[in-house]
Amino acid sequence: MSRITPMARRTASAAAAALALTLGGCSDSASNPVAPSTQLSPTRIAPERSSDNDVEHGHVMHGRPTQLEAFRNAAARSSGTGIFFHGGTVLLTTNVANIYWASAPIFVGGPTPGSTGSGAADGSLIGTFLRGLTGSPYFNINTTYTNAAGTHISNTVNYTQYYANNTNAPTGTANVTDAQMVAMLQAAFDGGKLTYDPNTLYSIFTAGAVNLGGGFGTQYCAYHTHATVTIGGVARTAYYAAMPYNGAYPAACTSGLAPANGSYDTGADFEVNTFVHEIEETTTDAMGNAWYDNRGYENGDKCAWTWGTTYTTAAGGKANVNLGGKDFLIQQNWKNSGTGGCALHL
């Protein structure tokens, strides 16, 4: 879920609750994410889109809903495609660069701190998952979306590069603002640690309870947005995703089911769900002005925390896809064809 602009006002909880109640009577087929916490609130907080671009955390991945809320979501998704094109930016081919911002590897088998390299060299489950997305029946769902010229998005995800950044790496429960994330990306571009590309999502992972954006675990589990960076003296747009460590808030930001790969790396197992959410939303709504429904929900929002058909893995966990030879549990995505609906493959 995207944020329209970083570093703007924060919506008061009372106003958000009133907004959620107001939107409750809408007839579009969106689901309603719930604000995460260890004690999940039954009140849904709808994403916001602001004409004056003053919304902070307006489009974020909210936490896992309760069973009752999930039932109501399913009823709300029952008719019509419920998602519309608003003329904005999509990525016809999606590139991804991972930034692991920590003083030690965040995920098992991940890159050595201080190193850079091709995505092919990332030995973590995150790397395996990301490489397995391209050409998959799952990511093929995104081909049901088009740009303004009617060209369909391709079933392509290129894991182009990683940067295991251990410079000024945040620790503990440090609050990291959007301005600090953008400054880190700018320094990485300036120092040759990352290569700028206009079709790349720069995904920023942190360890433990580091608070990316200031609302992790209480307002959201992840989000994607965009910022202006300077490349060769020219202002350019960079898309980035805040990907805090979901295992720090298991009740809100994980499935609550046994991890697909057992005890190997539970953090990575849970992280891929929010990761794919931000990838597919950046692909279809890169700047918050392309594909979303009447309530402001993007494709990932409409199917968040729904799994479709699952199976038990050899490690005793729950999964619904196999990518790159590994089992994963990831949310369904909204298929924008026929009558629409949440799906795991196309």
CA-nearest of 318, 335, 297 to 34 is 297
Hey, which residues does 23 pair with through a beta bridge?
A: none
| Per-residue pLDDT at 273 | 98
Q: Which residue has the higher pLDDT, 77 or 35?
A: 77
Confidence class for position 326, pLDDT limits 50, 70, 90: very high
Query: Is it the case that residue 271 has pLDDT exceeding 50?
Result: yes
Query: Is it the case that residue 263 has pLDDT exceeding 80?
Result: yes
Hey, which residues does 175 pair with through a beta bridge?
A: 211
Residues 6+ apart with CB under 8 A from 233: none
For residue range 247-260, what is the model confidence (pLDDT) as tens digits? 999 999 999 999 99
| Per-residue pLDDT at 295 | 87
For residue 108, is it within any domain? yes
- Please give the structure tokens belonging to residue 167: 């410079």
pLDDT (mean) for 174-181 = 97
For residue 291, is it within any domain? yes
Q: Which residue has the higher pLDDT, 320 or 25?
A: 320
| Per-residue pLDDT at 298 | 95
Q: Which residue has the higher pLDDT, 270 or 295?
A: 270
Ranges 18-27, 137-146, 274-283: which has the least confidence: 18-27
d(CA 60, CA 78): 23
Confidence class for position 63, pLDDT limits 50, 70, 90: confident
Give the number of domains in the chain: 1
CA-nearest of 240, 203, 247 to 221 is 247
For residue 277, is it within any domain? yes
Confidence class for position 17, pLDDT limits 50, 70, 90: very low
| Per-residue pLDDT at 297 | 92
For residue 8, is it within any domain? no
| Per-residue pLDDT at 36 | 29
For residue range 99-124, what is the model confidence (pLDDT) as tens digits? 999 999 999 999 999 999 999 999 99
For residue 105, is it within any domain? yes
Half-sphere exposure of 255 (CA within 13 A, CB side): 26
* Averaged confidence pLDDT in the chain: 83
Strand (E) or helix (H) holding 283 = helix 266-284
Confidence class for position 33, pLDDT limits 50, 70, 90: very low
For residue 280, is it within any domain? yes
| Per-residue pLDDT at 82 | 85
CA-nearest of 91, 53, 114, 122 to 299 is 91
Query: Is it the case that residue 50 has pLDDT exceeding 70?
Result: no
Ranges 73-77, 114-118, 314-318: which has the least confidence: 73-77
Report yes or no: 292 and 83 within 8 Å, Cβ to Cβ.
yes
The DSSP symbol for 55 reads B
The b/e string for 183-199 (b: 16+ C-beta within 10 A; e otherwise) is ebbbebbeeebbebbeb
Q: What share of the chain is helix, strand, coil (3-state, %, to 5)?
A: 25, 25, 55
State which residues form the domain around 297.
13-343
For residue 72, is it within any domain? yes
pLDDT (mean) for 206-217 = 96
Confidence class for position 159, pLDDT limits 50, 70, 90: very high
